[in-house]
Amino acid sequence: MKIRVGFGYDVHKLGVGEELWIGGIHVPHSKGSIGHSDGDVLIHAICDALLGAANMRDIGFHFPDTSDDYKGIDSKILLKRTIEIIRNKGFEIGNIDSTICLEKPKLKYLIPEMQSVLANVLSIDSEDIAIKATTTEKLGFVGTQEGIAAYATVLIQKD
């Protein structure tokens, strides 16, 4: 069995009047992610981690923000395509461990729904998707509520 680990990171600026999508769900808030797609930093970080683990470059290579094909696209579609890319190479997900960095709103009650949505898209058990949320103690662009960041580590395997 071949086992690989991948790491992903994404960041988006927050803006008034934008929608906030995290982990495939809409999060009610006065600010939202500014991005070419729907700006879902958690899904983007997971996509990068999966692609990196499979040595398939990164999300920008497969879904460039210079293409109108991806303007405003639901990031769950990008995740679905990403899992197809790695599965075509013979890999399956072992597990995902991720962290969302956001000062407000608090996400702890939304995490089970995010896990369920992502598990459905990826066709894996929600128990294989860890999502944590943290602040940056009011430091940096996350702390001043100018932006949002997410990190993801994945384990993929091939028989």
Annotated binding site: 10-12, 36-37, 44, 58-60, 134-137, 141
**Phi and psi (nearest 5°) for 152?**
-145, 140
| Binding-site annotation: residue ranges for a divalent metal cation | 10, 12, 44
Provide DSSP, 7-64.
EEEEEEEEEET---EETTEE---SEEEE-SS---HHHHHHHHHHHHHTT---HHHHS-
Number of Cβ atoms within 10 Å of the Cβ of 122: 22
